[in-house]
Chain A
Amino acid sequence: MRAIYHFLRRDNVAAIIFVLPFVIGLVAFLLVPMAMSFYYSLTRFNILRPPEFIGLDNYRRMLQDVRLRDSMQATFYFVFVSVPLRLAFALGIAMLLFKSTKMMGIYRAMYYLPSLLGGSVAVAILWRRMFFVTGTFNSILDVFGLNRNFPWLGDVRTAIWTLILLAVWQFGSAMLIFLAGLKQIPDSYYEAASIDGAGKSRQFFRITLPLITPTIFFNLIMQTIGGFLTFNSAFIITEGGPLGSTNFFALYMFNHTFAWSNAGYAAALAWFMLLLLAILASILFITKRFWVYEGGFS
């Protein structure tokens, strides 16, 4: 007993025990599944029975997959439109909410709410109903005499925009991070600027924007990765249609895994996505030194 006590009291033993929960989680829930998924990507695997090794066939198949090409196109379009819009919106709202009055706490909570709800199935269903031909959105247009029963979800040009709108509406988490970033900028900068005669917009572009570039950078990386993995809204609202215009990558992967019994191919797709995200993130990191301010606030 005394020996155990002494053993446990040693610093490195304690350290190992404290990191163990994390290490076990990392190995069991990340590294092992990743290794398995890589193996599956080299097999023909329908989930129901053991995988059968086929080498690089799945990766070769990707090169000729027309639906994959269309799916990539839809995903890129969605990410490159929705992420900047969402960040701009989040920053705009953060600027508005960056005043310390009594009501601000409530406003911030209210504006954050859509992000809590946004990924949920219930909101997706609500969205589908809103944009149906006879849905709320067309009824509102009707009030202004604009209703032509336009099928927002069924038209190739507009379906993806309903999803973009939903994504932009979920600006809350980015907004909170922007708020934190804004708080870091010392008031004295603004005071000095106004004494020197700089107006509000000049202050925004010359002080605020440059000084929150680290926050913008962080949000950009996180939201881009999140955007590429968008699944719920496309799965529920548009089911990938019309004409595959919202058949996002994650949905395509899901269908291959579960609906079409090609889990092997889907695993290969997942690795392709990982590679793609790694490249995109590296590009963002390379551009970082051209536009991100990394000095302090002194």
Chain B
Amino acid sequence: MKKALRFTVVIAILVALALVVVACRNDEPEPVATPEPTPTPEAQAEATPEPTEEPGDEPVDQVELTFAWWGGDFRAEQTHYVLDMFIEQSDQVSYIHRSVASFADYWPMLAIQAAAGTLPDVMQQDVSRLLEYQASNLFTNMAPFIADGRINLTDIPQSVVDAGTIGGEVIALPIGMNVAAMLYNATLLEELGLEAPRNMTLDQFIELAETIYEMSGVRTNWAHNDPANQMEVHLRAQGVNFFEGNGLGATADHFVEFFATIARGINDGWHIRPEHIAGREGAEQNSMWYPPGDENANLRTWNTPVWSNMLNGYLHDSPEDMEIGMTTYPSNNPIAGNFGRASMFLSMTSHTNHPDAAASLISFWMNSLEAHEHMLGERGVIVNPVIAAAVYDQLDEGPRRQTEFVGWVNNGNSSPFNPTRPEGAAEVIAELNDVRDQVTHGNMTPEAAAEHFYQVASGILW
């Protein structure tokens, strides 16, 4: 009896082990979609052509795609809608698996997928990562797809395609145009009888910040959110770029004024204190409207330096009685400092098993009037002029103002921009955040901060 039991247990363990080994052995490419999770029964049913189909019809093999993007809830709603719309009209794609994360969490998520060889078929890309991903062979060159029309770019200006072309390979296609923009509480400024004109110089801006602080106690956000962007504008106004080739485009002297402005704002009180920015969560606790109440005025700011395409989200999230204004970042030479750029891109990764289906999705995104009628410029000003013109009348306040603002910046109020960033740029920007904190906490003088930042950043970009 005992022996029989032991025999059974041993056999059971062997069987279990055999199962594990078999389960692990799926590294050979399967005919259908390896990167995706196992298709659901319905999807499989859909994927198999119905036997009742007319004999004349060619059976189309339907596939499942994966798509990843970053962004908040507002964008997610729209993206889901558009992807569903695509599936409905596509004869190639039966389902799209989706992953979404905040910008900060997106890159770790994608890095893991890249290492595992399971990047999504199509992913949203950012200029700051293009070089890194390209050097790692993670893109599929879309030039052949464009050449034979699988990605239809007939209506798209060449300059748009060039924005995602590196070394002769089309690795990313922009899906929105964007400019750096400072959003502000227009209601507050109106109450105070003040204005935030476009192309403010740094001196005008500081004077405005001081006046607002004196009159209302509300402070200014100049150094938080995206200091790299602020720095970029600031350096361009001095005639240099933040990054150049594989290194820095500026020297320690160029960085001083940026830190000096922060130090001045903190000392004079008009800049928000760093400890009052910490611990905030998302749109709900944005410093422009949170915490409410007159007694909390000095915990709030009248402005936030962001991107023009974020206007939609701000209009969506801000309190109803607050008007949101939009102006350029201040700098000593606004026209040299301002820049327009392609904001978000779509890329086909090299891990895709369904390049044709992926191409059809990208082509849909670039050309579908219905899709853009739903998104209405949520990812920035629409790059397809035909669609942009067709949907203009339907645009809400946000996208309409963006279109106007981006057009204004790009027509004579900005200068050309080299957006690609070297590998290691992400760490340099983290260091910029650290040094910024040292200055806002009064631990470093602007000169020391500039020198320190220059040294550390040069060390990172070896």
Other-chain contact of A154, B107, B114, B275, B426 (Cβ < 8 Å): B275
Query: Could you tell me if B17 and A20 are in contact, using CB atoms closer than 8 angstroms?
Result: yes
CB distance from A81 to the nearest CB of B (A): 21
Other-chain contact of A242, B108, B427, B430, B437 (Cβ < 8 Å): B437
What is the 8 Å Cβ interface bit string for chain A, positions 203-244, against chain B (1 contact, 0 not)?
000000000000000000000000000000000011001111
CB distance from B235 to the nearest CB of A (A): 21
CB distance from A78 to the nearest CB of B (A): 18
| Given known A47-B115, A49-B137, contact A259–B430 (CB-CB < 8 A) | yes
Chain A residues whose C-beta falls within 8 Å of the C-beta of B296 in the assembled complex = 134, 149
CB distance from A144 to the nearest CB of B (A): 18
Give CA–CA (A242, B115) in the complex, Å: 32
15 A-B pairs in the complex with CB atoms less than 8 angstroms apart: A8-B7, A47-B112, A47-B115, A48-B115, A125-B281, A132-B279, A133-B279, A154-B276, A243-B437, A243-B438, A258-B111, A259-B430, A260-B426, A260-B430, A262-B427
Interface residues of B (CB under 8 A from A): 3, 6-7, 10-11, 13-14, 16-17, 104, 107-108, 111-112, 114-115, 132-133, 135-138, 273-281, 285, 290-291, 296, 299, 423-424, 426-427, 430, 434, 437-438, 441, 443, 456
Taking CB atoms and an 8 Å cut-off, the chain A residues in 241-261 that contact chain B are 241-244, 255-261
Chain A residues whose C-beta falls within 8 Å of the C-beta of B111 in the assembled complex = 47-48, 258, 261
Chain A residues whose C-beta falls within 8 Å of the C-beta of B10 in the assembled complex = 8, 14, 17-18
A262's closest neighbor in chain B, by CB?
B427
Taking CB atoms and an 8 Å cut-off, the chain A residues in 2-25 that contact chain B are 5, 8-9, 14, 17-18, 20-21, 24
CB distance from A158 to the nearest CB of B (A): 9
Query: Could you tell me if B132 and A46 are in contact, using CB atoms closer than 8 angstroms?
Result: yes
Chain B residues whose C-beta falls within 8 Å of the C-beta of A258 in the assembled complex = 107-108, 111-112
What is the 8 Å Cβ interface bit string for chain A, positions 80-115, against chain B (1 contact, 0 not)?
000000000000000000000000000000000000
| Given known A20-B17, A149-B299, contact A261–B291 (CB-CB < 8 A) | no
Give CA–CA (A66, B16) in the complex, Å: 50
Query: Could you tell me if A5 and B132 are in contact, using CB atoms closer than 8 angstroms?
Result: no
Give CA–CA (A154, B299) in the complex, Å: 12
A155's closest neighbor in chain B, by CB?
B275
CB distance from B420 to the nearest CB of A (A): 15
Query: Could you tell me if A47 and B275 are in contact, using CB atoms closer than 8 angstroms?
Result: no
Give CA–CA (A149, B291) in the complex, Å: 11
Other-chain contact of A18, B13, B277, B437 (Cβ < 8 Å): B13
Give CA–CA (A159, B132) in the complex, Å: 35
A154's closest neighbor in chain B, by CB?
B275
Chain A residues whose C-beta falls within 8 Å of the C-beta of B427 in the assembled complex = 256, 259-262
What is the 8 Å Cβ interface bit string for chain A, positions 118-148, against chain B (1 contact, 0 not)?
0000000100110111100000000000000
| Given known A17-B13, A260-B426, A260-B427, contact A154–B277 (CB-CB < 8 A) | yes
CB distance from B426 to the nearest CB of A (A): 5
Chain B residues whose C-beta falls within 8 Å of the C-beta of A244 in the assembled complex = 434, 437
Chain A residues whose C-beta falls within 8 Å of the C-beta of B285 in the assembled complex = 132
Other-chain contact of A243, B108, B135, B136, B443 (Cβ < 8 Å): B443
| Given known A8-B7, A17-B10, A260-B430, contact A133–B136 (CB-CB < 8 A) | no
